Amino acid sequence: MNRITQHPVLETKSGKEVVFHFDGREMKGFENEPVSSALFANGIKKFSIHKKDDSPQGIFCANGQCSQCTVIIDGMPLKSCVTPLKNGMDVRTLNHVPELPHDDKADFKQKIEEIITDVLIIGGGPSGLTSAIELARLGFNIVIVEDKDKLGGKLLLQTHKFFGSQEDSYAGTRGFEIAALLEKQILENNNITVLYETSVVGIYKDKKAGVYKNNGKYSLIDFQGIIVSGGARERSLVFPGNDLPGVYGAGAFQTLVNRDLIRSSEKVFIVGSGNVGLIAAYHALQAGIGVVGIVDIMDKVSGYKVHADKIKRMGVPVHLKTTVLAAFGHEKVEKVTVAEVDKDWNPILSTARTYETDTLLIAAGLTPVDEFYNLADRYGFKVIKTGDADEIAEASSAMFGGRIAGLKMAKLLGKDIEIDPSFYEKAEVLKSKPGQVSEPKPVVIKENFTPVFQCFQEIPCNPCTTVCPKGCISLVGDMKNIMDIPDYTLDQCTGCGLCVAICPGLAVSLVRKLETETAEVILPHEYILNFAPGDKIDVTDVDGNLLEKAEVVSIRLNKIFKTHLVTAKMSLKNAHKAIGIRVQDKAITEPYHETILTFLPENAIVCRCERVTVKEIIGFIKEFKVNDVNQLKQIRVGMGACGSKTCSVLLPRIFKQAGVDYCNVSPGTVRPLTVEVPMNSLIEKQGN
């Protein structure tokens, strides 16, 4: 079984084991885990065979947003990523299109329930939860609609400690722990109702929302105001082989690895150096999964420098000004070819190289899930969007933004309150992009411990200043807020190691002089321990360069922050530069012995559901002078099960390739229902 049985941060878990069958083969899984995760645990990554060309299909989002994971479960086509596993299930590969059920005599017995509330909150992620807490405090009744069985959204997938402000956004606390804290506050409020495993399927002009409750019953919610906090969905990329099983979103990877503890891969390759991609590499290493490398077409890392630094010093290369040319494999990804780009973003084929990998993670940005906001705004309802549905940013920003959204909704509903102007100032700081990078300051190593900060970029973060019992650490700089750089300003360090343990960027060490030529250094370590006191370890600097082999003196676990503090003995000349312990062998990151260039860019898939290629779309646009996205439906673009959620964001680039300014193109019509609902759930029983 491909399950994670050892993890440095998460408690490994098991559940009630059940038996199910896949294509006639008996398999085992845990009751109520997603069927897709149970399949991955059994080594199954091909879920369907497309009707168009018999191509294999695998997961992409693992979040219910697309339909790439659809299989036949007990005779019905269902999304396996949101269908809980039950004992005795018969699961089969979806071959082309599903058959219609033989029994067409539906039993319409239900009475459609109607729920009345003041505020409907769509999405139980960080911003939705903080919105609900603020509104509940002011006496409003709230219904939160959450399509998973737990609250927290993407927080549930995050094993890293959060940046931001400790006072305002739980900085220094891991995402899944923040989710538990927020859920506890929600459940303590009697005027908050949570509908788990429920999706909003439509919003109607009579100020009602239709919801598919517990994935089995259609209900209506009557509301006065709506807060849309549905988060964001994964973006796809256009390149040959982008549809192979094993090519999927970084969020899907985090779902499998961190939520469901599935060892989904042996070696991953990541596209995108934003925080999502960098964190995905960190999560892979924590789970003992190799990371071949990260590529980004830009000339600099777009995420936090400390995120990139901690990945590089673990042995993961970041290749900038580099793009993916193609993925290759038989029924699953096996290799990927990349190349550097010139100043016009064109690939330089002479620089191309091929890497072996079984998983290609797409971390090339997110698209806000804001369709319900647009619809409610068009109807003139009292509506606010928050979190990633409003603006893609860090979860720390989403939490604080949610508080503001809750207060704004209260005002819209007539509550006589004033929003503290400092809230808006804090919100702007928390969503700040990475700022200037300063030069490291000289370090004087003494007989007593001294903290060394390998944190040189302006980012919103302050936990190291709040945790020091002696108040030795301050933020220094021109910003005069949490964007400033930490510095050791009071020479009273006790060597407690709290600043080392709490730092989200693993960018703080403690050093002290032992003898004339030797020193002791305390380093943070959040990966599987494969060494013990007395062993020699590879110690690296902030850029991942090997400094020397140091001797492990002791290892202690800070149970509050779940970070190991490794004390090592090394040379005095290198001690102030030491910040990482390499966890990955360089051989994992070496390119394949030959470069594969046998691909045609025009064969890349744009519409995954209907398998429509770049060539087909460009040809149709040119031939029929297309100026309306809806015209593309004639060749099935956007007509698939996902409702154009995936391909719609790719179309501007395709129109540009066809020589058409997308600004002059009419947008596509959004589907009236956002998720599949069985027809019999929509029909209400009449009479007694």
Which residues are paired to 450 by β-bridges?
Answer: 511
Q: What is the pLDDT of residues 33-88, one digit of tens each?
A: 999 999 999 999 999 999 999 999 999 999 888 889 999 999 989 999 989 999 99
Q: How many angstroms separate the CA atoms of 233 and 249, rounded?
A: 9
How far CA 278 is from CA of 311, 312, 447, in Å, comes to 7, 10, 36
User: Quick check: 595 and 354 in contact, CB under 8 A?
Assistant: yes
The H or E element containing residue 209 is strand 208-213
What value does the mean pLDDT take over residues 447-458?
96
User: Quick check: 434 and 416 in contact, CB under 8 A?
Assistant: no
The H or E element containing residue 528 is none
Fold match, 17-98+236-362 / 113-232+368-430: yes
Query: What is the per-residue pLDDT for 68?
Result: 92
Q: How confident is the model at residue 686 (pLDDT cuts 50, 70, 90)?
A: low
Count how many Cα atoms sit within 13 Å of the Cα of residue 280 in the half-sphere of its side chain: 33
Phi, psi torsion values for 472, nearest 5 degrees: -80, -15
Q: Which residue carries 């492990």 as its tokens?
A: 552
Q: How confident is the model at residue 217 (pLDDT cuts 50, 70, 90)?
A: confident
Give the residue among 463, 502, 510 at the shortest CA–CA distance from 486: 463
State both tokens at 634: 């004639």
Query: What is the per-residue pLDDT for 496?
Result: 96
- Please give the residue that has the higher pLDDT: either 298 or 676: 298
Task: Give residue 217's identity as a one-letter amino acid code.
Answer: K
Q: How confident is the model at residue 688 (pLDDT cuts 50, 70, 90)?
A: very low
Q: How many angstroms separate the CA atoms of 397 and 460, rounded?
A: 10
State both tokens at 626: 């297309």
Q: How confident is the model at residue 107 (pLDDT cuts 50, 70, 90)?
A: low
CATH top-level class of 113-232+368-430: alpha beta
In the predicted model, is pLDDT for residue 254 greater than 50? yes
Q: How many angstroms separate the CA atoms of 166 and 463, rounded?
A: 6
How far CA 665 is from CA of 368, 618, 644, 654, in Å, comes to 21, 14, 16, 12
User: Quick check: 8 and 14 in contact, CB under 8 A?
Assistant: no
Which residues are paired to 203 by β-bridges?
Answer: 209
Q: What is the pLDDT of residues 168-211, one digit of tens each?
A: 889 999 999 999 999 999 999 999 999 999 999 999 999 999 99
Q: What percent of the chain has pLDDT over 70?
A: 98
Supply angle C-alpha 269, 274, 278, rounded to 5.
50
Cα dihedral sign, 116-122-126-130: negative
CATH superfamily name and code, 17-98+236-362: FAD/NAD(P)-binding domain (3.50.50.60)
What value does the mean pLDDT take over residues 672-676?
73
Q: What is the pLDDT of residues 135-176, one digit of tens each?
A: 999 999 999 999 999 999 999 999 999 999 988 889 999 999
Q: What share of the chain is helix, strand, coil (3-state, %, to 5)?
A: 25, 30, 50
E strand intervals along 448-587: 450-453, 473-476, 485-488, 508-513, 518-525, 536-540, 546-558, 563-571, 580-581
Q: Where exactly are the structural domains of the chain?
A: 17-98+236-362, 113-232+368-430, 450-589, 601-664
User: Quick check: 31 and 18 in contact, CB under 8 A?
Assistant: yes
What value does the mean pLDDT take over residues 233-240?
93
Q: How confident is the model at residue 109 (pLDDT cuts 50, 70, 90)?
A: low
What's the length of the chain?
Answer: 688
Query: What is the per-residue pLDDT for 103?
Result: 65
Q: What is the pLDDT of residues 483-511, one digit of tens each?
A: 999 999 999 999 999 999 999 999 999 99
Give the residue among 56, 57, 306, 265 at the shortest CA–CA distance from 163: 306
Count how many Cα atoms sit within 13 Å of the Cα of residue 389 in the half-sphere of its side chain: 29
In the predicted model, is pLDDT for residue 110 greater than 90? no
Q: Which residue carries 């936090």 as its tokens?
A: 304
Give the residue among 171, 317, 329, 157 at the shortest CA–CA distance from 243: 329
Q: How confident is the model at residue 286 (pLDDT cuts 50, 70, 90)?
A: very high
Q: How many angstroms separate the CA atoms of 596 and 449, rounded?
A: 52
Query: What is the per-residue pLDDT for 112?
Result: 87
In the predicted model, is pLDDT for residue 234 greater than 90? no
* DSSP code of residue 457: B
In the predicted model, is pLDDT for residue 676 greater than 80? no
Give the residue among 580, 560, 569 at the shortest CA–CA distance from 508: 580
User: Quick check: 112 and 685 in contact, CB under 8 A?
Assistant: no
Ordered DSSP codes for 645-659: TTTGGGHHHHHHHTT
Query: What is the per-residue pLDDT for 188?
Result: 95
Q: How confident is the model at residue 105 (pLDDT cuts 50, 70, 90)?
A: low
Q: How many angstroms separate the CA atoms of 83 and 62, rounded?
A: 11
Q: In the predicted model, what is the mean pLDDT of the chain?
A: 94
User: Quick check: 428 and 494 in contact, CB under 8 A?
Assistant: no
Q: How confident is the model at residue 108 (pLDDT cuts 50, 70, 90)?
A: low
Alpha-helix runs per DSSP H in 525-593: 572-575
